Amino acid sequence: MEDPYAAVAERYDLFFERLDAYPKAEVAFFRDVLGADAPRRVLDCACGTGRYLPLLHSLGHDVVGMDISPAMLDRARRNLDALGLDIPLHQGDMAALPAEWRGAFDAVTCLSSSLLHVPNEAALARVLRSMAGVLRPGGLLVLTQGTSDRQAREKPRFLLARDDAVVTRLFAIDYRPPGATYHVLDVYHGPERKGLEVWSTEYARLWLRDDYARLFEKTGYTDVAFYGAYDRAPYDAMTSHRLIGVAHRPGPRAAMGL
């Protein structure tokens, strides 16, 4: 079966200057929500090329990465090897997480807009139930995406994703409800590479705050909170540029930050 993410895997890391460098607010957010008192067992669903695995590992947690794409996992392994990190990686579908993982994790993360590839409510409900199944009672789910109610309303045609001495990355976005196509223009102007590359990626549906709130309730999550930034500013549908959702599987909680 063809890997639909194979073409993206070798380009994805250009979203970041360094795989293991993170804004201070991002580090503080994950430190606070996961808790700093004891190591947690954390599953990063749709881990892609492994962007957040070094961060979660650096906070002292026992981390597992999983993704449906062999190409993404191959790139993740190379990235982790370059950093000297031996973090387990598994290929699989986040809508059908392994039965042997049932109740095995203190926290599940699904980051960087991964859920925008899920096409409809029934499919997203399956994903959320699957994630709940591998959480221990009281366990934490964290979702993040760069697409917000504000973007969905204003529909900016162009967004600058990166601009530095190595590469300029520009999005040209076609909004095709319920989803969108992101056409990506990469202009390389660093000492090691020069040239231009154009490619695209599809988001099946632009899930927003009210969608997640409804589906969290439908799939049995409790203590739901939404933030508009990593500083935990409350989510504002009119102004927030980022959407972060935090929810819990019902049950007694360990001493986490939320």
Read off the pLDDT of residues 59-101 as tens digits, 9 standing for 90 and up. Answer: 999 999 999 999 999 999 999 999 999 999 999 999 999 999 9
Same domain, 113 and 15: yes
178: domain range? Answer: 153-203
Q: What is the widest separation between alpha-carbon atoms in the chain?
A: 55
Which residues is 160 bridged to in the sheet?
170
Same domain, 146 and 177: no
| Dihedral sign (CA 128, 134, 137, 140) | negative
Band (pLDDT 50/70/90 cuts) for residue 17 is confident
Q: Is residue 32 part of a domain?
A: yes
Same domain, 157 and 144: no
Q: What is the pLDDT of residue 7?
A: 84
Q: Is residue 94 part of a domain?
A: yes
Alpha-carbon torsion angle 121, 126, 131, 132, nearest 10: 90
Is the pLDDT at 36 greater than 80, yes or no?
Answer: no
Same domain, 33 and 108: yes
Q: How far apart are CA 258 and CA 255, in angstroms?
A: 8
Mean pLDDT, the chain, as a whole number? 95
Same domain, 19 and 106: yes
Between 18 and 134, residue with greater pLDDT: 134
Q: What is the pLDDT of residue 13?
A: 86
Q: Is residue 253 part of a domain?
A: no
Q: Is residue 120 part of a domain?
A: yes
Same domain, 95 and 218: yes
Q: Is residue 257 part of a domain?
A: no
Mean pLDDT across the stretch 196-218?
98
CA-nearest of 69, 2, 15, 10 to 182 is 15
Mean pLDDT across the stretch 36-48?
90
Q: Is residue 157 part of a domain?
A: yes
The fraction of the chain above a pLDDT of 90, given in percent, is: 87
Specify the number of domains making up the chain: 2
Is the pLDDT at 143 greater than 90, yes or no?
Answer: yes
Q: Is residue 256 part of a domain?
A: no
Q: Among 34-38, 85-89, 163-167, 207-211, whose mean pLDDT is lowest?
A: 34-38
Which residues is 63 bridged to in the sheet?
42
Is the pLDDT at 115 greater than 90, yes or no?
Answer: yes
CA-nearest of 29, 43, 32, 31 to 136 is 43
Same domain, 89 and 169: no
Q: Is residue 254 part of a domain?
A: no
Do 66 and 47 touch, CB atoms closer than 8 A? Answer: yes
Q: What is the pLDDT of residue 10?
A: 85
Same domain, 217 and 237: yes
Same domain, 43 and 126: yes
Is the pLDDT at 188 greater than 70, yes or no?
Answer: yes
Q: What is the pLDDT of residue 14?
A: 82
Q: What is the pLDDT of residue 255?
A: 58
Is the pLDDT at 8 greater than 90, yes or no?
Answer: no
For residue 75, what are its two tokens?
A: 């790139």
SS3 content of the chain, % helix, strand, coil (to 5): 30, 30, 40
Same domain, 159 and 236: no
Same domain, 97 and 49: yes
Q: What is the pLDDT of residue 86?
A: 98
Band (pLDDT 50/70/90 cuts) for residue 252 is confident
Same domain, 135 and 193: no
Mean pLDDT across the stretch 230-242?
98
